[in-house]
Amino acid sequence: MNIRPFKNHIPEIGQNTYVDESAVLIGQVTIGSDCSIWPNTTLRGDVNWIKIGNNTSIQDGSVLHVTHDHPEKHPGGFPLTIGSQVTVGHNVVLHGCTIEDNCLIGMGAIILDGVHIEKNVFIAAGALVSPNKTLASGYLYVGSPARKLRPLSEEEINSLQYSADHYVRLKNEYLQV
């Protein structure tokens, strides 16, 4: 596993978390318990912090980054916060945004600075969420720029939890190898 300190900050990894040896974690990165960080992902907490809750999966090739503090344009900058029970698909870019619990971010999606995704949201593959948008709980969002398509069914909301649980089971298998 490639863990790099930056400016006296060393990534912190929770219990029973799987981090693939090809993943790169830099600086102010905190990962909860029972998470999975899959091959060729980068979590770069160099100019602000990244925090990930429990039971969250970051899939292959994803890039997670932050925005620095700029007193005039964006005071405090934009850290990156990901809740618990979140599945982040392959090749996703998350930049300085907030994602609450029990969400699924589809493959190739791009979520930009200042975005706030409430709990129980499904972002379709390839979606682009423009800066400073708030995506309301319980909906499917699609397109570029992303737009609310329809409410999620109870079955679909339950599938978000199923996805998170699946990746906890899978990472447990990887930890046993």
Q: Average of pLDDT values for 81-95?
A: 98
Query: What is the overall mean pLDDT for the chain?
Result: 97
DSSP classification of residue 115: -
d(C-alpha 133, C-alpha 110), whole Å:
13
Q: Average of pLDDT values for 40-63?
A: 98
pLDDT at 98 over 90: yes
pTM of the model: 0.97
> What confidence score (pLDDT) does residue 11 get?
98
Sign of the Cα torsion 95, 14, 173, 84 reads negative
> What confidence score (pLDDT) does residue 177 get?
87
Domains along the chain with CATH numbers: 2-176 (2.160.10.10)
Residue with tokens 């570029």: 144
- Which residues have a Cβ under 8 Å from the Cβ of 158 and sit 6 or more positions away? none
Q: Average of pLDDT values for 91-112?
A: 98
Looking at beta carbons, which pairs linking 19-28 to residues 24 or more positions away fall under 8 Å? Answer: 25/1
The angle formed by the CA atoms of residues 9, 82 and 150, to the nearest 5 degrees, is 160
Place 44 in a pLDDT band, splitting at 50, 70 and 90: very high
> What confidence score (pLDDT) does residue 1 get?
62
Q: Average of pLDDT values for 121-128?
A: 98
Place 91 in a pLDDT band, splitting at 50, 70 and 90: very high
pLDDT at 108 over 70: yes
Q: Average of pLDDT values for 103-119?
A: 98
CA nearest neighbour of 117 among 154, 74, 82: 82
Q: Average of pLDDT values for 107-125?
A: 98
